Amino acid sequence: MKKVSKDILTCIIIFSIIIGGLYFGKVPDYLELGMEDCKKYMEENGLFLTIPRFTWKVESAFSEGLSYHKDFMDFNSAIQNNMGTVLIDKGDTTVVKSKTGFLSYQRDKMPEISLMKRARNVAKLHHVAEENGAEFMYVLAPVKGYNMEFAENIEDYNKENCDIFLEELKKVNVPYFSLIDAMEEDGISEEEMFFITDHHWKPEYALWAAERVCREFKNRYGFEYDESKLNIDNYNSVQYDDWFLGSQGKKTGQYFTELGVDNFNLITPNFETHFSDTQVGKDYYKEGSFEEILIHRDHIETKNFYTKNPYASYLGGDYREEILKNNMIEDGKKVLVLRDSFSCAFAPFFALNMGETYLLDMRDFAEFAGERIDVAKYIEELRPDYVMIMYTGVTGDDIVYEFK
């Protein structure tokens, strides 16, 4: 009888946990979303191929929809941290903790043939740009993990992949600029540049990068720019303490690193600015100052580690095609930037010295599924002064190097 009572107690507690997770959670919402997705997928791929997607969506719903999903993740992150775990496998990505406690994505070695192909595609675009009278530059944005020290048993190929890719760019005579080298010149460590829990650079270093890139354009192509617009002394800064759990932290839980969550520094110019911002294909047009239109406060006003992304307070996130017009500069230069998410924080600062900044994100966006931008054609029509590709490391899919 006594034995039974301890099992009954166990069951009461655990059933309460199970029921609580379901009752207070959002499993039905997740299921509904998942089923809508499956319906669409089935129309294109048929029933048989949809089954694995269906089971995966159900499994996700019964994990992410539990009321305590985030709390359990945080709880697990604390356990893993105390157990000495440095690697969390998330299926599609693996997050590793460096010896300094920073989180990073572990990268596998990329096939050299793939890196070579990417470099060749860049070279082709370089020629297209030149044929259309534009100066070209490939900017290698820093990648978190390039110079970080990990436990000896962790294999990470961020550095090797980048180095091989730059070698390939050199072989095909593409003018490139490595912000990783620039970091070294300026004595900036990865721990300074990057968030602890996110793979992006901090806004103050995106500003630094904008200045370095402008300087590089000046040195190579005689581009004239106003240095004062990229001097941090001319910026207002508001620090949000313990405000940001980055994408890597969101995957591991907030206690995986003993360094804790990130502070977020929102920096904005303290000089006069005026922009217009168009998101093509989204019926979005706005005019106003840097703060009014390039800062999206809804991402930072309230603190929520798992639903908010303060990094996206710059530009508001990723869009397929966006045009920033700087109304403070007459007859300014026209620049086309092929971007990834590093440009969210970079582009607003960079655009301060440009007349028109055209941003193209070559990743696949759900609302434009299957539609690829023909960059060569885009250049022919736009006739920009500069064409720039800026990607972090070589981490993206091959697709972002396909310019048609």
Partner 1 sequence: MLFSSTTFIYMFLPFTLICYYCILRWSRTAQNVFLFLASLLFYGWGEPKFVFAMLGSIVINWFFGLLVHKYKSENKLPLAKLCIGIDCFFNLGMLFIFKYLNFTADIIFSFFGEHSPIGAIALPIGISFFTFQAMSYVIDVYRDRGEVQKNILNVGLYISFFPQLIAGPIVRYETVAYEIQNRKETWDDFFEGFTRFVIGIGKKVLIANSVAVVADEVFGFVGQGPVSTAAAWLGAIAYSLQIFFDFSGYSDMAIGLGKMFGFHFLENFNYPYISKSITEFWRRWHMSLGTWFRDYVYFPLGGSRVKSSRMVFNLFVVWLLTGFWHGANWTFVVWGLMYFVLLTVEKLTGIVNKEGKLINIIKWAYTMLFVIIGWVFFRAENLSVGLDYLGYMFGINNQDAQSLLYFKAMLNQSLIIILIGLVCSTPIFKIIGKKIKENFITNLIYAVGVALIFIMSVSSLVSSSYNPFIYFNF
Q: How far is the CB of 153 from partner 1 (least distance, A)?
A: 4
> Strands of 87-89's sheet, edge to edge?
87-89, 94-97, 103-105
Q: How far is the CB of 54 from partner 1 (least distance, A)?
A: 9
Q: How far is the CB of 248 from partner 1 (least distance, A)?
A: 13
Q: How far is the CB of 23 from partner 1 (least distance, A)?
A: 11
Sign of CA dihedral 294, 297, 299, 303: positive
CA distance 345 to 299: 13
CA distance 329 to 267: 21
Q: How far is the CB of 4 from partner 1 (least distance, A)?
A: 5
Q: How far is the CB of 296 from partner 1 (least distance, A)?
A: 29
Q: How far is the CB of 107 from partner 1 (least distance, A)?
A: 17
Which parts of this chain interact with partner 1 (CB under 8 A)? 2-14, 17-18, 21-22, 27, 51-52, 55, 58-59, 62-64, 66, 69, 72-73, 75-77, 79-80, 83-92, 151-154, 252-253
Whichever of 63 and 189 has its CB closer to partner 1, that residue is 63
Question: Taking Cα atoms as reference points, which of 154, 163, 141 lies closest to residue 99?
Answer: 154
Give the 3-state secondary structure of residue 312: helix
Which residue pairs from 19-26 have beta carbons closer than 8 angstroms and sit at least 24 positions apart in sequence?
20/67, 20/68, 21/66, 21/67, 21/68, 22/66, 22/67, 23/67, 24/67, 25/65, 25/66, 25/67, 25/68, 25/69, 26/65, 26/67
Whichever of 96 and 387 has its CB closer to partner 1, that residue is 96
Q: How far is the CB of 165 from partner 1 (least distance, A)?
A: 23
Whichever of 66 and 137 has its CB closer to partner 1, that residue is 66
What is the 3-state secondary structure of 191-219? HHHECCCCCCECHHHHHHHHHHHHHHHHH
Q: How far is the CB of 306 from partner 1 (least distance, A)?
A: 12
CA distance 80 to 252: 9
Whichever of 84 and 370 has its CB closer to partner 1, that residue is 84
Per DSSP, 313 falls in state: G
The residues, ordered by sequence, that sit 6+ positions from 15 with a Cβ below 8 Å of its Cβ are none
Whichever of 250 and 325 has its CB closer to partner 1, that residue is 250
Helices (H), 93-246: 112-131, 158-171, 179-185, 190-193, 203-221
Whichever of 5 and 307 has its CB closer to partner 1, that residue is 5
CA distance 401 to 372: 12
Antiparallel, parallel or unpaired: β 356-361 and 334-339: parallel
Cβ atoms of residues 18 and 27 within 8 Å = no
